[in-house]
Amino acid sequence: MKQYDFLGDDLVVNALLMEVADLLGGLIEQGRGGSIDLLGLPLSAKCMAAVEARLGDGEVSASLHVSGESVVRETAFAGVWWTRHADEAGRVTALLIEVAEVPEILRASLVDVRAGQLRLREMVAR
Amino acid sequence: MRDETVGDMLGRRGFSRRGLLKFAIAMTSSLALPPSLAPVMAANLAAARRQSVIWLSFQECTGCLETLLRTDSPTIAGLIFDFISLDYQESLMAAAGSAAELTLRQAVAANAGKYLLAIDGSIPVADGGVYSLTGGRTNVSMLQEFAPGAAAILAIGTCAAYGGIPKAFPNPTGAVGVEDVILDKPIVNIPGCPPIPEVLSGVLVYFVSFGRLPDLDDQKRPLAYFGTTIHDQCYRKPFYDQGKFAKSFDDEGARQGWCLFELGCKGPTTHNACASLKWNDGTSFPIESGHGCLGCSEPDFWDQEGGFYTSLAGGTGPGWRNAGIAAATGVALGAAAAIAARRKVP
């Protein structure tokens, strides 16, 4: 029974990693990656841990403090990001594998940039 | 302020677009939408005007409103009230009497064809609908007056969706759900006794983002939340698969967390998201607390054959003698603990 479980989990993990590889193909050839919503998949905790372990750690890690904490971490595979969003109560609201040069959440929005520019000028003028 | 966009309003309050994107990522996950739609949803939300919602309470217990207001999830609950303008809700508004009625008429006129009409409670139609009145008007006449001007109707809770407990046999008031009265409007049913707050949030955010209701199942429930059964997502399902069932609420199987199917759990035939979203800020759900699912998000759940404690496969239900002893023991222990706790107070 345990062997069967292990085999099942292993197949799921490999299928997921193949999907990541396909998304990387899209990023390389068309400049468009994609994301996998891990909370939307019927993955066991063991499966989830296995996927995270096999993707490993990369060169970049960022934490965001916006409506709770988010952690964006590049995996051992460039362009593959492990992203975990939590709300202010610490509850995980999204868990994603993102395939992108830079995940969208890290980019500063021009709306916020303009507001920041205004605040900066006001601060200097005071 | 009414004409400013949601994005402007959030910006004025120091909420960044990054925060809005994070919210949209969580909502796309909750709504089972592709993550790639999150930036689109965030952009649409930022550009949207606050959605007018007119909420009418009919034959109900106010449990639905209570659960939606008392959610502990600050991100969802807090933000959703930024996206909507709750223009009328009798239990929450300060106005009463003729002032409240004027408010309702003004809100309907100002948002004709655009407002969402939220209903909680069933609609009694027996004897001309006299069993539930607001300001001297029957619920059914109010629904028939205000439904035509709505963009869509949200039937919140099992009573509004299917008649619920007021409809239980012998249904003396002739209680029915919204879709039994209104036949020509988009209706989304958000059943549950009470419904899960995050489901209402998800439906509202989807409507504000994309201007239409999300995909529904054959009972008009949002597929993202009602597409699977409680059983499909239940953490006790492995015990079901292994044939391990609790036989009473206090036996060894119950203590080991075995499947509650033989104690009447309706999880296999109940569509809802309790097992994944859970309750009380994600703390637990009824099965996790040791009680089977009652099937409260399904039509006519109160009148199901055999009652709550009879297995879906039939049978006689659990051994009540032992359960009664267990309950009495629990009450005694609780009382002892309360007395002990009081003694610690200086």
pLDDT recorded at residue B126: 98
Per domain, the residue ranges of chain B are 50-226, 230-330
Reported as a single tens digit per residue, the pLDDT across B169-188 is: 999 999 999 999 999 999 99
| pLDDT value of position B343 | 39
Percent of chain B with pLDDT over 90: 68
Q: Residue B42 is encoded by which pair of tokens?
A: 């965030």
pLDDT band at B261 (very low <50, low <70, confident <90, very high): very high
- Which residues have C-beta within 8 Å of that of residue A13, sequence separation ≥ 6? A47, A50, A51, A54
Q: What is the mean pLDDT of residues B24-44?
A: 92
Bigger pLDDT: B338 vs B243: B243
pLDDT digits (tens, 9 = 90+) for A38-66: 988 878 888 899 999 999 999 999 999 99
Q: Name, in order, each residue with C-beta under 8 angstroms of A4's C-beta and a sequence gap of 6 or more.
A: none
Which of B201-210, B291-300, B316-325 has the lowest average pLDDT? Answer: B316-325
Taking only the tens place, the pLDDT of each residue in B63-101 is: 998 887 776 554 545 666 678 888 999 888 888 899 999
Residue showing tokens 């993202």: B224
Average pLDDT, integer, range B316-327: 53
A68 touches chain B (CB under 8 A): yes
For residue A94, the chain B residues in CB contact (below 8 A) are 22, 25-26, 29, 35
What's residue B320's pLDDT?
52
> What DSSP assignment string belongs to A49-65?
HHHHHHH---S-EEEEE
* More confident position, B130 or B276: B130
Partners of A72 in the beta sheet?
A: A62, A83
State the CB neighbour count (10 A cutoff) for residue A116: 12
- What mean pLDDT comes out for the span B265-287? 91
Cα end-to-end distance, chain A, whole Å: 72
Decide: pTM greater than 0.95.
Answer: no
Q: Which residues of A touch B36 (CB under 8 A)?
A: 34-35
What local confidence, expressed as pLDDT, does residue A89 receive? Answer: 82
CATH number for domain A2-125, candidates 3.40.50.300, 1.10.3720.10, 3.40.50.620, 3.30.1370.140: 3.30.1370.140
Which pLDDT does position A1 carry in this prediction?
Answer: 31
B26, B74, B76 member nearest A85 (Cβ): B26
Question: How confident is the model at residue B277, as a pLDDT?
Answer: 86
- From the CA of B282, how many Å to the nearest CA of chain A? 8
Instruction: Identify which of B18, B36, B38 has the shortest CB distance to residue A109.
Output: B18
CATH class of B230-330: few secondary structures
Q: Are B235 and B284 in contact (CB under 8 A)?
A: no
Q: What is the pLDDT of residues B134-158, one digit of tens each?
A: 989 999 999 999 999 999 999 999 9
Instruction: Specify the CATH number of the domain B50-226.
Output: 3.40.50.700
Q: How far is the alpha carbon of B288 from chain A, nearest alpha carbon, in Å? A: 18
What's chain B's average pLDDT? 88
* Contact criterion met (CB < 8 Å) for B35 and A96: yes
Supply the pLDDT for residue B4: 86
Give the residue among B90, B86, B98, B163 at the shortest CA–CA distance from B131: B163
Q: Give the pairing of strands B51-57 and A34-37.
A: unpaired
Q: Work out how many CB contacts closer than 8 A connect A with B.
A: 76
